[in-house]
């Protein structure tokens, strides 16, 4: 019998076991859960940081091997190898960042603050790797006779590397890496500050007088919010859009409307630890510096050089062309609302916190339409069914709800998605209700994206929303705007689900920023079609269809208040672009003064605020995605208004041939083509602005 230290193989096995324990389910190369869903119940916050560290090391080793390859550079050993690399990192990041937005906690937020700059430095090290860039540059598409998809992947990689600084001098590369890491820190802080402000506010409604004007559905939602927050008050209004907006519409307490509106519009500028204005000044300065390093006049010029618009001038031209008629329309709307104030015997001037309230009164007077009359015909389940049925009639999709699959919150629902022939498309998750652990807004994301390079990988797509949840046993009723949001996000989901590409880089929504909203905004059109509403807008208790008279009044009011809606959106887009056209980007930027000056120069109506004021403008400051790109919703609306006309011209909103082209060239094509080419392939030509102006009631 011998004694002593364990042999090397035993020590290695022990270390491997310990490492696997630290990263939990992320140690498994493939999850055996239904549909390969993440095993959410088995993942704890302590797993994420070690899992990230292991995945980062693995990815770096893969990249180093590609860069150090001594064989001549080919598409297969360089570009396709890059596409295959990083699987573990993608898996950890997709789970973590989905949950950090939709169901976070202090432990996840601490991990997020730690890991985001490390991920940024990791990405910079790849894109600034001279040996790797040399190999990508050396791939010869002509000699290899690459196909169209391979050429597109190669082109997109070369574009990404150049835009990340691959051609810069060493000292400039170092600075680019520093900027990327710092920007990741700032974006994380911005998002967490905003969530803190949104989660900490609650307006108590303590008396019957405080509840004056609120319809039953809103009283129920306010009571549910109080219970969810364990409030001592029976009813509270939070800063969730699904609560704050109807409160501003219905409350007859002008003082409470003002208090709630002030909190809503001052998120991110509290003056305390969660104030975002200093972060914004630094973000704008760093973006401007990055653009100058790359040889651009401003961050806006850099950002738009790789979009359909191509330049800030073209984007601003569109915004101005819409601003002018919208401004005129909003002035007319304001005068009519002010007349209504005076007709009620009041002598105050219409204010920002009054607009929605009096607009609803005017809508009732002009269209005999009451939001409370509409909502009973739009239960959440009915609107989901309408979205699914539309997808079936357009694209032949089938949806089967799955009761027993892993989920990260009890409210999350899951559906298997299949083609008409029964073949698998992917998995769709719906996370519909507001909660304190979820950031505001609505979005689509992916736990797994479609591709064929690493096998026939089916996507797992999630829609996240913030509807006010009804009490247990009662139906959640949506406003028409809520229903439109659901259709919008489901359009994004279809863009991810129907993706039909080989390479991950091109999959789903990985398209130009001013093209990505086309599938989502186009899908909204079907909600407004009488054929869809007659079938699916049914009373949540009786099952009776929406009365024909109510349906006609609802559709007749589609362009009501569009001056206001267009102004609040377009003002946000103009301020975004103006901020990022700054070539200096001084650290001392006074955010409030800049915003006020930009609005003054476009004659912003005093009675309307930006849809997203700068201190809480998460679209452009939580990350770079929509920075100098908020205009893209309007750009895409030009496309979607024209695209739906293709169905009208065919005489059938579900026209099979038109739907087949739509699936092939828009929803299924990912980034296989330049967006202008993709749209032309679908429509036969590029669009004009006229359908958009008609859609918004601004054509005159």
Cα dihedral 337, 340, 344, 345 in deg (nearest 10) = 80
Contact (CB, 8 A) for 267 and 197:
yes
DSSP letter, residue 512? -
Contact (CB, 8 A) for 54 and 25:
no
For residue 299, count other CB atoms closer than 10 A to its CB. Answer: 29
Contact (CB, 8 A) for 199 and 228:
no
Residues 6+ apart with CB under 8 A from 519: 491, 492, 494, 495, 666, 667
* Residue in 130, 125, 167, 181 with CA at minimum distance from that of residue 294: 167
**With 0-12 CB in 10 A as exposed, 13-18 as middle and 19+ as buried, what is 11?**
exposed
Could you give the angle at the alpha carbon of 264 between the alpha carbons of 262 and 265, nearest 5°? Answer: 70
Residues 6+ apart with CB under 8 A from 149: 501, 502, 503, 506, 672
User: Distance (Å, rounded) from C-alpha 258 to C-alpha 680?
Assistant: 48
Helix (H, G, I), strand (E, B) or coil at 609: coil
Candidate list 333, 489, 517, 607, residue with the active-site label: 489
Long-range contact pairs involving 6-11 (C-beta distance under 8 Å, separation at least 24): none
* Residue in 532, 512, 534 with CA at minimum distance from that of residue 524: 532
- Catalytic status, residue 344: no
Q: Which residue has the tokens 């319809």?
A: 215
The CA distances from residue 484 to 146, 299, 387, 479, 637, in Å, are: 42, 32, 10, 9, 14
Give Dmax over CA atoms of the chain in angstroms.
Answer: 102
Catalytic annotation, residues: 489
């Amino acid at each position: 019998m011998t004694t002593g230290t364990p042999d090397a193989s035993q020590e290695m096995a022990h270390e491997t076991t310990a490492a696997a324990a630290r990263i939990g389910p992320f140690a498994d190369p493939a999850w055996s859960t239904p549909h390969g869903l993440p095993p959410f119940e088995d993942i704890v916050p302590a797993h994420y940081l070690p899992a990230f560290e292991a995945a980062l090391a693995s990815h770096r080793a893969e990249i180093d091997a590609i860069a150090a390859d001594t064989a001549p550079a080919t598409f297969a050993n360089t570009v396709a190898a890059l596409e295959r690399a990083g699987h573990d990192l993608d898996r950890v990041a997709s789970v973590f960042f989905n949950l950090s937005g939709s169901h976070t906690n202090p432990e996840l937020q601490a991990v997020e603050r730690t890991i985001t700059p490390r991920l940024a430095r990791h990405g910079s090290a790849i894109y600034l790797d001279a040996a790797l860039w040399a190999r990508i540059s050396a791939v010869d598409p002509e000699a290899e006779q690459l196909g169209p998809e391979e050429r597109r992947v190669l082109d997109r990689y070369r574009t990404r590397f150049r835009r990340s600084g691959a051609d810069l001098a060493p000292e400039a590369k170092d600075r680019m890496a520093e900027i990327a890491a710092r920007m990741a820190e700032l974006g994380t802080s911005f998002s967490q500050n905003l969530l803190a402000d949104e989660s900490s506010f609650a307006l108590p409604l303590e008396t019957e007088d405080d509840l004056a004007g609120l319809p039953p559905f809103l009283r129920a939602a306010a009571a549910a919010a109080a219970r969810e927050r364990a409030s001592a008050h029976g009813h509270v209004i939070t800063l969730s859009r699904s609560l704050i907006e109807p409160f501003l519409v219905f409350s007859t307490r002008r003082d409470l409307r003002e208090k709630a509106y002030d909190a809503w519009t001052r998120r991110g500028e509290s003056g305390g630890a969660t104030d975002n204005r200093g972060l914004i000044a630094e973000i704008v300065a760093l973006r401007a510096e990055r653009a100058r390093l790359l040889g651009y006049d401003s961050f806006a010029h850099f950002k738009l050089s790789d979009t359909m618009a191509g330049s800030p001038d073209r984007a601003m031209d569109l915004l101005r062309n819409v601003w002018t008629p919208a401004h005129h329309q909003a002035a007319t709307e304001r005068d009519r609302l002010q007349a209504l104030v005076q007709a009620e015997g009041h002598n105050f001037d219409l204010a920002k916190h009054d607009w929605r309230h009096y607009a609803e009164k005017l809508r009732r007077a002009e269209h005999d339409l009451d939001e409370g009359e509409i909502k009973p015909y739009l239960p959440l389940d009915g609107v989901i069914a309408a979205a699914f049925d539309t997808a079936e009639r357009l694209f032949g999709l089938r949806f089967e709800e799955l009761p027993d699959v892993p989920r990260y919150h009890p409210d999350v629902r899951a559906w298997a998605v299949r083609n008409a022939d029964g073949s698998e498309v992917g998995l769709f998750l719906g996370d519909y209700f507001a909660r304190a652990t979820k950031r505001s807004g609505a979005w689509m994301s992916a736990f797994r994206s479609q591709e064929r390079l690493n096998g026939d990988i089916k996507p797992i797509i999630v829609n996240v929303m913030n509807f006010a949840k009804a009490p247990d046993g009662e139906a959640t009723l949506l406003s028409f705007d809520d229903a439109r949001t659901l259709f919008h996000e489901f359009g994004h989901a279809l863009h991810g689900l129907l993706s039909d590409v080989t390479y991950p880089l091109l999959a789903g929504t990985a398209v130009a920023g001013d093209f990505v909203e086309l599938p989502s905004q186009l899908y909204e059109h079907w909600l407004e079609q009488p054929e869809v509403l007659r079938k699916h807008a049914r009373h949540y208790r009786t099952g009776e269809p929406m009365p024909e008279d109510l349906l006609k009044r609802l559709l007749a009011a589609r362009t009501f208040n569009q001056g206001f809606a267009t102004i609040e959106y377009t003002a946000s887009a103009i301020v975004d672009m103006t901020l990022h056209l700054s070539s200096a980007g001084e650290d001392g930027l006074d955010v409030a003064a800049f915003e006020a000056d930009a609005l003054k120069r476009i004659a912003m109506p005093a009675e309307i605020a930006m849809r997203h004021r700068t201190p809480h403008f998460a679209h452009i400051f939580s990350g770079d995605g929509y920075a100098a790109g908020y205009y893209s919703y309007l750009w895409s609306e030009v496309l979607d208004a024209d695209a739906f006309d293709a169905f009208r011209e065919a005489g059938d909103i579900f026209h099979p041939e038109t739907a087949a082209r739509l699936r092939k060239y828009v929803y299924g094509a990912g980034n296989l083509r330049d967006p202008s080419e993709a749209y032309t392939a679908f429509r036969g030509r590029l669009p004009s602005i006229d359908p958009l102006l008609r859609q918004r009631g601004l054509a005159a």
